[in-house]
Amino acid sequence: MASLVEDLLKILETEKETYDQLYELAESERAAIIDRKLDVLEETVSREQDLGSELKNLENARVKSLQSMAIVLGKDGQDLTVSQIIDLLGKTPVEQQKLKVAKDALVESATRMQMLNQQNQVLLNQAMELVDFDLTLFRSLRQAPETANYNRGAYATGEILPSGGFDAKQ
């Protein structure tokens, strides 16, 4: 059982380190969004995807480790959580404390990452709104208003001012 706990500890520590790396990338992503550096943003997103797949692999390893612990503890068929394992390790306070510290550090790191992701999402939404505003502004600058010219039948001719502005000729 001790080796299973050690394996779980290693997995949790590696997960925390990966979340910390992801946090650093998200900070550089935020700077890239603010500075409008699309090449840096593209590279950062690519590296984030790699770390995301690494986190998924670590999660799968953690689940397998917990399943192995469930079998050893005679809890066959049940999905144990890290918190339940901590509670079950009452007879070994040293391992229990190590596991609790590792779990708390992982939860803190993941929560911090989640908050930064939410901030980056807001920044991206604002950047997209600004781009949309700019596009609308540029489109409206290229379109000139129709002139108030009427033909003999009192219908608007629908002429548009030239792109240079007002026509001074009469």
Does the domain made of 2-142 have the CATH classification 1.20.58.300? Answer: yes
pLDDT of residue 54: 95
pLDDT of residue 169: 59
Alpha-carbon gap, residue 121 to 127, rounded angstroms: 10
* Ordered alpha helix ranges (H), 37-151: 38-72, 82-88, 93-142
Structural domain boundaries in the chain = 2-142
Q: Which mean pLDDT values do the consecutive 10-residue runs of the chain (170 residues) have?
A: 88 95 93 89 92 94 90 77 85 89 94 94 91 85 63 66 54
Alpha-carbon gap, residue 128 to 163, rounded angstroms: 28
Alpha-carbon gap, residue 37 to 35, rounded angstroms: 6
Alpha-carbon gap, residue 39 to 57, rounded angstroms: 28
